[in-house]
């Protein structure tokens, strides 16, 4: 199978101006490729730059140099240095991201938080809400919570809302940052099942999974991230 | 597709003091561009230049008008620019007293905009006005009250209704939640966010509040001393700030 995501020479450092322009090199010349149906686990010690790499793949962090090419629609699109509207279009249609924490939007009901990405793709309100209800039920988020904004939910509930929001669109590429970190065993198994289903259906997945059991169940390959990019 | 609004080299002085220097950008249809920076960074001056309210000393603003095609905003006659701003644009001021007519009823405030785009049927205008009051969460029985009898938050919501009722293609917003209680602020943000998503508005939003920018904008320009020091996708600028000034702004947010 041909890759759907190709990374080459990816280099990223942070410059902290408040501390005498201190340079913190994080990624150096990272290369990887992921194909549909594959799940690549990023591994390495805490602080090695796994999250930085994952966020760079989403266009959230800006690479210093290198290339992140994504199969987007009919052709390939370069994410490094892309125009904001190009990045947004890639996020709308091609790449989904499950972060560790939900960014809560004041006053917006859980059901609408989950439904939003599908509406952004042109689905009707009804269609998107039906799908959101289905996912929330599958993830054991109690129905009495659906009309409430998730601000007051527990960590595990918020994470499941977040997962539902990211899985409501069938993204060809999924980026996962510790998708099961604050879940109990039952919910963790359900989430693993749902992600495996996406992988088997042909999504390309890149993820950070600290739980080795989760990693073994989902990943086909690992990519080692080296601290400071120095091998 | 072409940009809805293009700014090139926008520069404006007040006396010898430079308020806004050499600002360039393109705003594409459906985009919300945030302009952030501290007081005095030139944000509002830029907004006023873009909206044709203030003439720049140098530079050009091009708007792709529905009625006339691409026009250079500052080369238009005053009458034409006023017509454009009533029919294709909205402008939400920080102070609703500037954007509303305080001496006439809420219904008339909304209806006036509809009449500017050709509505003539009294019953229809009243019906649409009532519908918009509901959308901005103002009780229907307040339709005939003057905004002077409204609270600050209600006035701001009325100003938003007045500006959006005629389905403008481009909305300029100057600190739309400035000076309001946080609960009222959340309500207005929620309202704006919903309207931006459902009406596919294009907008330029000036704010000093990075939380507001995160919630409402797709792209950000960070201004310092009249110049744009950084621009990019909103989450890139806020999560991976590069310029020393942006890093300082982001680091200054108080966690709750």
ipTM, 2 dp: 0.92
> In the predicted model, what is the mean pLDDT of chain B?
92
Q: What is the CA radius of gyration of chain B?
A: 18
Check if B232 contacts A (Cβ < 8 Å): yes
Residue A96 within a domain? no
Could you tell me which of A57, A93, A78 has the C-alpha nearest to residue A171?
A: A93
Tokens of B207: 């704010």
Q: Do B219 and A84 touch (CB under 8 A)?
A: yes
Q: Do B240 and A62 touch (CB under 8 A)?
A: yes
Smallest CA–CA separation between B6 and chain A, in Å? Answer: 15
pLDDT at A231 over 70: no
CA–chain centroid gap for A106, Å, is 22
Q: Do A60 and B236 touch (CB under 8 A)?
A: yes
Q: What are phi and psi of A132, to 5 degrees?
A: -65, -40
Q: Do B239 and A16 touch (CB under 8 A)?
A: no
B38-52, B93-107, B190-204, B219-233: lowest mean pLDDT where? B190-204
User: B222 near B37, Cβ under 8 Å?
Assistant: yes
Tokens of B220: 């950000």
Residue A77 confidence (pLDDT)? 97
Residue for token pair 């190009």:
A86
Name the pLDDT band for B195 (thresholds 50, 70, 90): confident
Residue A135 within a domain? yes
Q: Which residue has the higher pLDDT, A129 or A229?
A: A129
Tokens of A41: 């686990």
Calculate the CA dihedral of residues A85, A86, A87, A92 and round it to 10 degrees.
Answer: 90
How far apart CA A32 and CA A69 sit, in angstroms, is 11
Please name the residues in contact with B72: beta carbons below 8 A apart, sequence gap of 6 or more.
B60, B61, B62
CA–chain centroid gap for A23, Å, is 27
Domain count, chain A: 1
CA–chain centroid gap for B142, Å, is 25
Query: Which of B233, B236, B247 has the CB atom closest to A17's CB atom?
Result: B247
Segment B126-130 mean pLDDT: 94
Residue A221 within a domain? no
pLDDT at B256 over 80: no
Tokens of A112: 């609408």
Calculate the CA dihedral of residues A105, A111, A117, A118 and round it to 10 degrees.
Answer: -160
Segment B229-243 mean pLDDT: 96
- For A170-217, the pLDDT digits (tens) are 999 999 999 998 899 999 999 999 999 999 999 999 999 999 999 999
Residue A64 within a domain? no
Name the pLDDT band for B237 (thresholds 50, 70, 90): very high
How far apart CA B72 and CA B3 sit, in angstroms, is 13
Neighbours of B204 (CB within 10 A): 25
Residue A99 confidence (pLDDT)? 87
- For A87-120, the pLDDT digits (tens) are 999 999 999 999 888 887 778 899 999 999 999 8
Q: What are phi and psi of A23, to 5 degrees?
A: -100, 125
First CA to last CA distance, chain B: 42
Residue A24 within a domain? no
pLDDT at A158 over 90: yes
| Angle CA A84–A87–A89, to nearest 5 | 110
Residue A229 confidence (pLDDT)? 62
Q: Determine the residue of chain A that is closest to B251 in CA distance.
A: A18
Specify the 3-state DSSP secondary structure of B66.
Answer: coil
How far apart CA B99 and CA B150 sit, in angstroms, is 14
Q: Determine the residue of chain A that is closest to B248 in CA distance.
A: A18
Residue A94 within a domain? no
pLDDT above 70 covers what percent of chain B? 99
Q: Which residue has the higher pLDDT, A214 or B182?
A: A214
| Residues of the domain holding A116 | 105-166
pLDDT at B185 over 90: no
Residue A19 within a domain? no
Segment A137-162 mean pLDDT: 94
Where b means 16+ CB within 10 Å and e means fewer, A18-56 reads eeeeeeeebbbebebbbbbbbbbbbbbeeebbbbbbbbb
- For A43-73, the pLDDT digits (tens) are 999 989 999 999 999 999 999 999 999 999 9
Residue A9 confidence (pLDDT)? 96
Residue for token pair 């409501």:
A168
Name the pLDDT band for A39 (thresholds 50, 70, 90): very high
Q: Do B243 and A17 touch (CB under 8 A)?
A: yes
Residue A165 confidence (pLDDT)? 95
- For B168-179, the pLDDT digits (tens) are 999 999 999 887
How far apart CA A8 and CA A63 sit, in angstroms, is 11
Please name the residues in contact with B138: beta carbons below 8 A apart, sequence gap of 6 or more.
B106, B150, B154, B157, B158, B161
Specify the 3-state DSSP secondary structure of A133.
Answer: helix
Pairing of strands B89-92, B170-174: parallel
- For A5-20, the pLDDT digits (tens) are 999 999 999 999 988 9
Please name the residues in contact with A114: beta carbons below 8 A apart, sequence gap of 6 or more.
A132, A135, A136, A161, A164, A165, A168
Residue B178 confidence (pLDDT)? 83
Residue A72 within a domain? no
Smallest CA–CA separation between A108 and chain B, in Å? Answer: 7
Residue A101 confidence (pLDDT)? 80
């Amino acid at each position: 199978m041909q890759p759907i995501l190709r990374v080459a020479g990816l280099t990223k450092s942070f410059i902290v101006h408040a501390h005498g322009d201190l340079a913190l090199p994080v990624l150096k010349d990272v290369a990887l490729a992921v194909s549909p149906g594959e799940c690549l686990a990023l591994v390495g010690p805490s602080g090695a730059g796994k999250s930085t790499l994952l966020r760079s793949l989403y266009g959230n962090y800006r690479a210093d140099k290198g290339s992140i090419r994504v199969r987007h629609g009919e052709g390939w699109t370069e994410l490094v240095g892309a125009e904001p509207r190009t990045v947004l279009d890639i996020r709308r249609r091609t790449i989904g991201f499950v972060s560790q924490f939900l960014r809560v939007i004041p006053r917006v009901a859980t059901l609408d938080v989950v439904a939003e990405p599908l509406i952004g793709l042109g689905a009707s309100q009804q269609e998107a809400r039906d799908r959101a209800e289905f996912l929330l039920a599958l993830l054991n988020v109690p129905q009495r919570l659906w009309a409430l904004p998730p601000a007051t939910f527990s960590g595990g509930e918020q994470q499941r809302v977040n997962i539902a929001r990211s899985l409501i669109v069938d993204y060809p590429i999924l980026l996962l940052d510790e998708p099961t970190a604050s879940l109990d065993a039952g919910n963790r198994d359900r989430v693993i099942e749902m992600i495996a289903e996406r992988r088997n259906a042909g999504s390309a997945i890149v993820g950070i999974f600290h739980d080795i059991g989760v990693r073994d169940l989902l990943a086909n390959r690992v990519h080692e991230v080296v601290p400071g990019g120095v091998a | 597709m072409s940009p809805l609004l293009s700014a090139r080299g926008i520069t404006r002085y007040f006396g010898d003091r430079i308020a806004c220097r050499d600002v360039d950008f393109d705003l594409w249809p459906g985009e919300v561009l945030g302009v952030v920076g501290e007081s005095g960074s030139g944000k509002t001056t830029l907004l006023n230049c873009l909206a044709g309210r203030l003439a720049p000393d140098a530079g050009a603003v091009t708007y792709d008008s529905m009625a006339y095609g691409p026009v250079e905003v500052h080369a238009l006659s005053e009458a034409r620019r006023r017509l454009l701003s009533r029919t294709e644009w909205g402008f939400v001021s920080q102070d609703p007293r500037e954007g509303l007519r305080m001496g006439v009823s809420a219904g008339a405030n909304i209806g006036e905009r509809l009449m500017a785009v050709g509505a003539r049927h009294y019953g229809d205008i009243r019906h649409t006005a009532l519908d918009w009051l509901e959308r901005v969460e103002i009780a229907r029985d307040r339709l005939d009250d003057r905004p002077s009898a409204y609270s600050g938050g209600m006035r701001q919501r009325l100003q938003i209704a007045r500006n959006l009722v005629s389905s403008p293609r481009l909305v300029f917003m100057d600190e739309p939640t400035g000076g309001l209680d946080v609960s009222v602020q959340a309500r207005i943000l929620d309202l704006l966010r919903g309207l931006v998503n459902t009406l596919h508005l294009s907008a330029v939003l000036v704010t000093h509040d990075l939380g507001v920018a995160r919630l409402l904008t797709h792209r950000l320009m960070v201004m310092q001393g009249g110049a744009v020091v950084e621009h990019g996708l909103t989450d890139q600028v806020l999560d991976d700030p590069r310029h020393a000034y942006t890093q300082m702004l982001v680091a200054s947010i108080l966690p709750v």
